[in-house]
Structure 1
Amino acid sequence: MEMETEDRRSDEASPSRLVESIKEVAGLPECRNCCKRMYGNLVRRIKLLSPLFEELRDGGGGGGEVGEEGRRGFEMLRAALDSAVVVLRSVNQGSKLYQAFQIDKSAVKFHQLTGQIEAALSMIPYERLDISEEVREQIELVHAQFKRANERMDSPDLQLVMDLDIAQRENEPDLAVLKRLSEKLQLKTLNDLKRESLAIHELVISSGGELVDCSERMVWLLRKLKESVIRENPEVAASESEKGLIKHRSPVIPDDFRCPISLELMKDPVIVSTGQTYERSCILRWLDAGHKTCPKTQQTLLHTALTPNYVLKSLIALWCENNGVELPEKQEKSRTKRSGRVASECDRAAIDALLEKLANGNPEQKRGAAGELRLLAKRNADNRVCIAEAGAIPLLVDLLSSTDSRTQEHAVTALLNLSINDSNKGTIVNAGAIPDIVDVLKNGSMEARENAAATLFSLSVIDENKVAIGAAGAIPALIRLLCEGTPRGKKDAATAIFNLSIYQGNKARAIKAGIVGPLMRLLKDAGGGMVDEALAILAILASHPEGKVAISQAEPIPVLVEVIRTGSPRNRENAAAVLWSLCSGDVEQLKFAKDLGAEEVLKELTESGTDRAKRKAVTLLELIQRAETAPEL
């Protein structure tokens, strides 16, 4: 029986089966959502493995010469390829918005797969395989690609992550933000949005209510994207809507949208204690009649409180709009009211009058006008467009050098609010604002310094601005704010430093400016509320050679081990990443960590940590084991 099992395992990992697995990956459809780059990179690398196993298959080889470890490598590779097919399919189907909200988790999955494939390839002794020199060279190059990819995780699209965050925080998201999301998520037409609404509906139903919070955000954002598409191209939108009305004149109502009692489309769905949803008026009549059970399941109701099912209500409203079904009256009225409010708030004449005061008024008038523009720019996306188009940005940049502290505060905060619009970012930078914003960061009032830091973070979303901001001397001033600021100011400074440090040159600037000391103080002050930020920055700086040295000199091992023992999942992950950077190639640091009990907390992390934390913990434990067997220890 044992021999049969071995034979079956060998057959499962034979070159022929591996070729089939690679072909299965190669045959998957092109990814058209936010995971496109990560998806494409993994598929491309896997396809490059094909010549090796095709040659082994055609030559009749299969691992007889590779030994036990080589056979395990083949088996691990087959398992990793099977997992890759599952992951690749899962990120390329269903709701595109859901995939966008899950992009961080998807990045971890792709990196984990890359690590599994690289580990499997490391176990295969190519020099003992009966393959041509050309194929051997190619597979070694492919293995090197997997090794490099395993050393650094593909970062999700930062602009997409920022746009999603902005779109959710704003009551009326900027049109430029929505347009970028439509492009990146391939939700550019009403038909695209209709398919997305159905995908969200299927996701919500299949999740059994586990995605309520996420689905509420998706439905809300989908509605905003639809409004954006209609505003961008009203003629096409009207044409598609008309076609929809003709095609769906008598649409079939999805079962999930019908009340189980009346079998009619629900207008005000509510949830009872058993988790079932009913039309409010129907379930109230049922309860008023003296019933104490759920009509559908016959379970006894624990209580008679009714919870509005906002997610389903929004899905029904979207379905009605897409299929030409009249919306429930309350929703239609509120929608009309919202649209009217937005349209009336952008008063070009009032903005022009404020700009006249900015340009030609006395100091008091300039201060007042800057303050009003600050509030208008904060209020909604239309105002940000109107204010910029009217030519306010260069005038506000001029006021950054005002000797009046309040005027300076208004000017930098107005630019912060305007920078939410992506096209305004370019206008602000082109107006020469970066040096002046940095000067405010260095010399302004505390409020002005905090808002200057937030403005620099907003501008640094565009990669080339990271270079300009770092070169303008922002990083030492941000570090000073990190030490001296209010709690909000410290967080603004930390966020800006983190984002700027994505650029390698700014890592060196931050290290040279002495950032490690303040970060270590924040890390050790558990009650200061800055542990998350300090660890995130340390994790990114530890990847720089100078950063590794500077952090090592600050003796961080005890606090890192303690964070891994007791911290939040994200902090444990970042602490493990820093510890891994410090201990790789440094036996003394590794021994010190082991003496402080790192081995025990790392073993626990392999069971309960995030995927990235588990990987770092496994690697660290392997380093500790190797160090124990080394002669010098």
Structure 2
Amino acid sequence: MPHPSKRRILTLPAVHPCEAVSPATLLNSLIPLAREIVARRSHSFPIHRRSIREAIRQTGLLLELLDDVRDRGSALPDSAVLSLSELHVALQKIRHLINDCSRRGARLLVLMRSEFVSSDLRVLVRSIATAIDVLPLDNVNAAVEVKDLVRLLSKQAWNVVIATDPEDDRAAKRIRSVMDQLKNGVAPAASVLERVLNHLQVRSWSDCDEEIAFLEEEIFTYFENEEDGEVALLGSLMPSTAKGDTKRSAHCTASSVSDWLKQEALQCPISLDLMTDPVTIATGQTYDRSSIKRWIKSGRLTCPVTGEKLTNTDLVPNFAIRKLVDEFCRDNRIPIAKPNTKHRQSVEKTASPFGPAAAGAIKMAVAFLIDNLEKGTVEEKKKATFEIRSEGWSRSLTSSIELCLVEADAVPWLLCLLSSPDPSTQENAVAALLNLSKHPNGRRAIFESGGVCSITDVIKTGAHDRSTAERSGDPLLPLFGRRVPNRDRSDPRSDPDFSRAPNS
């Protein structure tokens, strides 16, 4: 696993060469740096395409000069140190920006910071021009045509327009419009959200998950000021955007985690238990939080796997591994132990960004799920019950979503599906009801709807069916079985157990 980056996205730290550095050392350091940037020429950039390609083009022309000088083996004059140092700093920052703009999972955040990105790229391109202007080209041993190209590069760098792409600007405005609509309680058109996702090349559930995981990590790692409130708001908007996209829902039936991932890969190297609260340390290795904390507390400041000395004792939450562990446990029906949340940032500290817009985003996603429970096809109902049971939302919003689902009358419709002929839908409905029962209002809704007996019937029947299946060797019977009392549950209003029915 790669070393977790300590650089926050869209920050541009750079190592400034010391004053005593020689021109030859700078040249040998600049060439691989420039080549790394030029190698990104063939990559696809969903956002800031034109500006990035211009920065790569200029770096490529500069690389021709640097290669030619080194190939000739001539010494550069000491007066070139200032210029080469400035080029070194500028190229480091350009590399950071290019990496951030192509980073999977960060596309929505980078899009919303488009003006910042364009401004930085503009400054850096001008910095290249300034550095070339002070470079003593007349005293540099290089081909005449290469020098002419570099001089032309300097002039173009001052005149080229580096601005936000019109397509990026329109997509960012659409997102801000969606936020404004949510603040006013208006559900935005699904076509608007779909256009934004297509522009960002977010085309599958896994892409959506990467965006959500990244934004959640930003919230809990860096939330400090009002500017970060937009990150939290985007983090609450992204799940509703993903769940409201029916085309991407088709991808959610992909093979389960168990089909391609072994349990050993999700076990803590120290305790050999599944990592319910995985964190990554300075060496890039991941451990369960409680195990690595005990290791460090005992005075051992080395990595248990690699033996490397730890440069720091920071524990970075690994949301990707945590999600895989949760999915693995669900696929294999393993009880999921809830991690200790004392280390996490309290919800009160991040309550401010979850205002009207975030609440509107949650309500929009919940309305979509309830509509599928009520009017959807068999497959859509199965997907809706799976989404409610899976808790695949931002962890900081789970309580709000549970409450919203209860208030939207999800409980009666889920109780209806206890009699579904589809075993997966039935099992998901039971698990979803148990999830909602964690909220006091959810427990009250289940009791008032007469759902306790219904859930108990299904679980008891499922236990009987499982026992029968084990004796008969039939591996296909579902965990909870199918038999429920024979009553008409096509509509919750027809069920005598219900004291109230969902609002149509």
TM-score (norm 1): 0.39
Structure ranking higher in helix proportion? 1
TM-score (norm 2): 0.49
